[in-house]
Structure 1
Amino acid sequence: MKQALITGASRGLGLALARALAADGWSLLLTARGEEDLFSAAFDLDARAIAGDVADPAHVARLAEAAPELDLLVNNASGLGPTPMPRLADYPLDALRALVETNVVAPLGLVQATLPALRKRRGAILNVSSDAAVEAYEGWGGYGATKAALDQISNVLAAEEPDVAVWWVDPGEMNTSMLAAAVGEQEAGAAPPPESVAAALLRLVASRPESGRFTRGELG
């Protein structure tokens, strides 16, 4: 049975993808900071769960130890930064440093910890990106900069690890609590549900294309 480790798995896209993979027969290790929602999801999916912050090296070590036979790492956990989302001229630098830690350093740390298992299984890494990494949206400069950094980390990682597939995916807008915090509940409510994106990601994993960046439209 194939095994996946999913971060930010208690809600939104992480939870939707966990459900899709479980239905496809995958064994799951789930993590998120919110214990109650995480353990509820794990119970429903017959999955293992370890609550914690992926920016905590000790938590990352526990996750890697719990997944010695890993086929798929999904770096989905992400922070939005301050809300209302400030322009770069007013962006609090301490908040930006914290966001870089969560959105850039933490995913790379988990990649480093799980690479031995992924190499052994010729596995795959799926890093969740954003169109804010490549587009100039007012107010999204801090978040977008972290996702641009994650894109480049993914790009170089793909060149350095030819036996591991690396995909960085812009899922587009989804009706999630994160989007609602950024743009308001009304606009977020008009976006597609994360389940539709999860189905596309499941097809991506199953088809195992070459490493690269994918948008929601390209996934079909």
Structure 2
Amino acid sequence: MPTAVITGASAGLGRALATALAERGWNLVLDARRPDRLLRLAGELGRSTRLHAIPGDVGDPDHRRQLASAAAGFGPLDLLVNNASTLGPSPLPPLAELPAEQLAAILHTNVVAPLALVQLALPALTAAGGTVVNVSSDAAVAHYPGWGGYGSAKAALDHLTATLAEENPQLRWYSFDPGDMRTEMHQAAFPGEDISDRPEPEAVLPALLRLIGERPLSGRYTSSAPELAAPAAGQAVA
């Protein structure tokens, strides 16, 4: 069976994807910062798939090595999803007021850590001819007050993804922009506001599954991209 590593798997899009792949019989290595949530998810999914649930911070080099080692135990790595992310301080401050050390922390989690994990996983990904999905944001290409730290980090992640695709054309490399979703992180961006009009992560999942299953050319895709808009007949993610 294919193997996937998914970071930030205990909530939001990461949880939705982990659940969908478990239902399809994938081997999973899952990471999240909150042990209680991650282990609860592992208990729910462990009945239908083989998995390792490893609580920790993807910004920690030792934790990244644990993830790569667990994935290697399954053999070649078919999919790496860098979904773990940090928004930064909430409420979102103007960029001119964002402390440098907080910007550095945002960049470390959203840019440095995903690249470092790719570097560790690259041999196993190459053995499988695998796929890397780096979860992006429309803030990477548009400019919103307060979103400068997070948006600049996601723009850097997009750039890394495109460069890795040029350097490693035997693999598939995707920046995936899911759009607004009803998640805790999005709520943190709008404290006290009603975000119930945003779609649940499960609404975005079909587009992501199609991206993973059909493996179009490497590039940046949004959940509403024409290539991902409708499931193909007989589509399977295997």
TM range (shorter): over 0.9
Aligned residue in 2 for 1:191: 198
Tell me how far apart the structure 1 counterparts of residues 154 and 204 of structure 2 sit (CA, whole Å): 18
Look up the equivalent residue of 2:154 and give its one-letter code. K
Tell me how far apart the structure 1 counterparts of residues 97 and 66 of structure 2 sit (CA, whole Å): 37
Alignment of 1:35-184 (within 5 A): 35-46=35-46, 47-68=51-72, 69-184=76-191
What stretches of structure 2 of length at least 5 have no aligned partner?
A: 230-238
Aligned residue in 2 for 1:15: 15
The alignment of Structure 1 onto Structure 2 pairs a total of residues equal to: 220
Tell me how far apart the structure 1 counterparts of residues 192 and 83 of structure 2 sit (CA, whole Å): 21
CA RMSD of aligned residues (A): 1.0
Tell me how far apart the structure 2 counterparts of residues 170 and 184 of structure 1 sit (CA, whole Å): 22
Tell me how far apart the structure 2 counterparts of residues 110 and 185 of structure 1 sit (CA, whole Å): 35
Tell me how far apart the structure 2 counterparts of residues 81 and 73 of structure 1 sit (CA, whole Å): 24
Give the secondary structure class of the aligned counterpart of 1:50.
strand
Give the secondary structure class of the aligned counterpart of 2:85.
coil
Look up the equivalent residue of 1:63 and give its one-letter code. L
Asked whether the equivalents of residues 52 and 70 of structure 2 are also in contact (C-alpha less than 8 Å), the reply is no
Tell me how far apart the structure 2 counterparts of residues 188 and 4 of structure 1 sit (CA, whole Å): 31
- Please identify which structure carries the higher helix content: 1
For the structure 1 residues 185 and 13, does the alpha-carbon distance in structure 2 shift closer, same or farther, using more than 3 Å as the test? farther
Asked whether the equivalents of residues 72 and 123 of structure 1 are also in contact (C-alpha less than 8 Å), the reply is yes
How much has 1:22 moved relative to structure 2? 1.2
Give the secondary structure class of the aligned counterpart of 1:127.
strand
Alignment of 1:181-220 (within 5 A): 181-184=188-191, 186-218=193-225, 219-220=228-229
How much has 1:204 moved relative to structure 2? 1.0
Tell me how far apart the structure 1 counterparts of residues 26 and 194 of structure 2 sit (CA, whole Å): 34
Aligned residue in 2 for 1:28: 28
Provide the TM-score with structure 2 as the length reference: 0.90
How much has 1:185 moved relative to structure 2? 5.6
Give the secondary structure class of the aligned counterpart of 2:67.
helix
Tell me how far apart the structure 2 counterparts of residues 198 and 10 of structure 1 sit (CA, whole Å): 15
Asked whether the equivalents of residues 90 and 191 of structure 2 are also in contact (C-alpha less than 8 Å), the reply is no
Tell me how far apart the structure 2 counterparts of residues 185 and 38 of structure 1 sit (CA, whole Å): 26
How much has 1:188 moved relative to structure 2? 2.2
Tell me how far apart the structure 1 counterparts of residues 20 and 210 of structure 2 sit (CA, whole Å): 10
Q: Deviations over 1:141-188 (max 9, x none)?
A: 000000000000000000001111001011000000000010246442
Asked whether the equivalents of residues 17 and 199 of structure 1 are also in contact (C-alpha less than 8 Å), the reply is no
Q: Deviations over 1:11-66 (max 9, x none)?
A: 11100111111122211110011101001111111132011111111111111111
What stretches of structure 1 of length at least 5 have no aligned partner?
A: none
Tell me how far apart the structure 2 counterparts of residues 185 and 175 of structure 1 sit (CA, whole Å): 14
Instruction: Select between 25-34 and 129-138 the one with higher mean Cα deviation.
Output: 25-34
Tell me how far apart the structure 1 counterparts of residues 40 and 206 of structure 2 sit (CA, whole Å): 22
Tell me how far apart the structure 2 counterparts of residues 184 and 23 of structure 1 sit (CA, whole Å): 34
Provide the TM-score with structure 1 as the length reference: 0.97
